[in-house]
Amino acid sequence: MQKKWIEKFLDGIEKAGNRLPDPAILFLYLMLFVWALSLILSNFSYHEIDPRSGAPLEIKNLLQGTSMASFLSGMIKTFISFPPLGVVLLAMLGVGVAEYSGYINTGLKIVLRITPSSLITPMLILVGIISHTATDAGYALVIPLGGIIFMAAGRHPLAGIAAAFAGVSGGFSANFIPSGIDPLLQSYTQTAAQIIEPGMQVNPLNNWLFTSLSSIIIILTGWYVTDKIVEPRLSGVQVDENAGESEVKFDDILPAEKKAFWTATMVVVISLLLLYLWVYPSDSPLRAPDGKIATFDAPIIQSIVPLIFILAWLPGAIYGFMSGNFKNSKDLVQSMTKAMHAMSYYVVMAFFCALFIDAFISSNIGALLALKGANFLKSLALPSQVTIVGIIVLTALVNLLVGSASAKWALLSPVFVPMLMQLGISPDLTQAAYRVGDSVSNIITPLMPYFPLVVVFSQRYVKNTGIGTLVSMMLPYSFIFIIIWTIFLLLYWFLGIPLGLQSSYTFP
Q: What is the pLDDT of residues 103-120, one digit of tens each?
A: 877 876 777 677 787 899
Average pLDDT over residues 24-33: 86
Please give the pLDDT value at position 2. 46
For the ranges 125-129, 239-243, 282-286, 385-389, the lowest mean pLDDT is seen at: 239-243
Each residue's pLDDT tens digit, 249-258: 545 678 888 9
The count of C-alpha atoms lying within 13 angstroms of the C-alpha of 361, restricted to the half-sphere facing its C-beta, is 18
For the ranges 47-56, 183-192, 218-227, 404-413, the lowest mean pLDDT is seen at: 404-413
Adjacent-strand bridge partners of 49: 56
461, part of any domain:
yes
Alpha-carbon span 92 to 137, nearest angstrom:
10
35, part of any domain:
no
* pLDDT reading at 187 higher than 60: yes
Please give the pLDDT value at position 266. 96
Please give the pLDDT value at position 6. 59
Each residue's pLDDT tens digit, 277-294: 999 998 899 998 888 876
Please give the pLDDT value at position 311. 87
Alpha-carbon span 229 to 269, nearest angstrom:
38
Alpha-carbon span 260 to 255, nearest angstrom:
9
Instruction: Return the percentage of the chain with pLDDT > 70, whole number.
Output: 88
Each residue's pLDDT tens digit, 308-359: 789 889 999 999 999 999 999 999 999 999 888 877 877 887 898 789 878 8
Please give the pLDDT value at position 303. 82
46, part of any domain:
no
Residue 215 near residue 171, CB atoms below 8 Å: yes
Give the amino acid at 310.
I
44, part of any domain:
no
454 versus 413: which is more confidently predicted?
454
Length of the chain: 508
Most confident listed range (135-144, 164-173, 212-221, 309-318): 212-221
DSSP state of 204: T
Residue 203 near residue 501, CB atoms below 8 Å: yes
Alpha-carbon span 330 to 466, nearest angstrom:
35
- 18 confidence band (pLDDT: 50, 70, 90): low
* pLDDT reading at 151 higher than 70: yes
Residue 428 near residue 186, CB atoms below 8 Å: no
For the ranges 193-197, 371-375, 433-437, 459-463, the lowest mean pLDDT is seen at: 371-375
Please give the pLDDT value at position 1. 40
**CB neighbour class for 154 (10 Å; exposed up to 12, middle 13-18, buried from 19):** exposed
Please give the pLDDT value at position 505. 92
Indicate the SS3 state at residue 506: strand
Most confident listed range (164-168, 287-291, 409-413, 487-491): 487-491
6, part of any domain:
no
Each residue's pLDDT tens digit, 77-98: 999 987 668 877 887 788 889 8
* pLDDT reading at 64 higher than 90: yes
DSSP state of 425: B
The count of C-alpha atoms lying within 13 angstroms of the C-alpha of 110, restricted to the half-sphere facing its C-beta, is 15
* pLDDT reading at 193 higher than 50: yes
Alpha-carbon span 99 to 370, nearest angstrom:
42
Please give the pLDDT value at position 404. 62
56, part of any domain:
no
303, part of any domain:
yes
For the ranges 67-76, 178-187, 433-442, 446-455, the lowest mean pLDDT is seen at: 178-187
User: How many folded domains does the chain comprise?
Assistant: 1
For 459-503, give the secondary structure using H, E and C. HCCCCCCCHHHHHHHHHHHHHHHHHHHHHHHHHHHHHCCCCCCCC
Cα angle at 485 between 480 and 488, to 5 degrees? 130
* pLDDT reading at 371 higher than 90: no
Please give the pLDDT value at position 134. 57
Residue 370 near residue 49, CB atoms below 8 Å: no
Alpha-carbon span 420 to 393, nearest angstrom:
16
Cα angle at 464 between 458 and 466, to 5 degrees? 65
Each residue's pLDDT tens digit, 316-329: 999 999 999 999 99
CA 348 distance to own-chain centroid: 20
Average pLDDT over residues 147-175: 89
CA 83 distance to own-chain centroid: 13
Q: Is the peptide bond before 508 cis (omega within 30 degrees of 0)?
A: yes
Please give the pLDDT value at position 52. 67
Domain containing 257 equals: 83-495
Residue 84 near residue 449, CB atoms below 8 Å: yes
Average pLDDT, the chain: 84
422, part of any domain:
yes
Average pLDDT over residues 179-206: 79
Each residue's pLDDT tens digit, 450-501: 888 898 899 989 888 888 888 889 999 999 999 999 999 999 999 999 998 8
